[in-house]
Amino acid sequence: MFEEVFLAVIVILIVVLVVMYSFFRNRVSESELNFRIMDSKGKLAIAERKFMQGKIRKNIFEVLASKLEEEILTSELALFRLQKAREILVSSSANKLLLEMNNPTKYRRAKINSILKETSLLRNEMSLLEGKLLKRQVREGVFEKLIAEKESKLISKEKQLGDIVESSKNN
């Protein structure tokens, strides 16, 4: 009896520690991303100052500025993803897809929900990038590179979604 209670307490403590660790890890990653953003902005300011002083040539500055802007945007998108991932609800879209399927298993339901959440996040990131381009906060080359990456991920996720639905219809 004592051993069973002791074992149950140990299991509960382990679960609590795992939950606390995942929460803390999420917070650390947000602060780490904020640090990366501020660090890259500082490096960009230094590079601009050096360029204005004539210590860096224009072609080198443009390459450096593009890389730093890409790093800033990538970190901002990762931070956006961390903050918005919990808020995205895809239950209505998932239910529409599940109605088309013959026998949706728990695995397929979970897979559909995760893919729909991922595609929604990708679309939100792409709209955020487009907004930054319209406000002239990002260079066109950096924008095109990041949008191309996001579009390719979006296409592959939508293909996966289609494959899951088709495989369920065939079964």
> What is the total count of domains within the chain?
2
What is the reported pLDDT for 44?
93
Contact by Cβ (8 Å): 51, 63: no
* Structural domain for 50, as ranges: 1-82
pTM of the model: 0.72
Q: How far apart are CA 89 and CA 109, in angstroms?
A: 14
Radius of gyration of the CA atoms of the chain, in A: 23
**Shared-domain flag, residues 103 and 72:** no
**Shared-domain flag, residues 123 and 166:** yes
Contact by Cβ (8 Å): 150, 126: yes
- pLDDT tens-place values along the chain, 171 residues long: 777 877 777 878 787 777 766 666 656 578 888 999 999 999 999 999 999 999 989 999 999 999 999 999 999 998 888 888 777 778 888 888 888 887 788 888 889 889 999 999 999 999 999 999 898 888 898 999 999 999 999 999 999 998 988 887 776
Q: How far apart are CA 63 and CA 111, in angstroms?
A: 40
**Shared-domain flag, residues 59 and 1:** yes
> Which two tokens mark 37?
């953003």
What is the reported pLDDT for 37?
93
Q: Which of 52, 82, 112 is the last residue of a domain?
A: 82
> Which two tokens mark 144?
């095109």
What is the reported pLDDT for 171?
66
What is the reported pLDDT for 33?
87
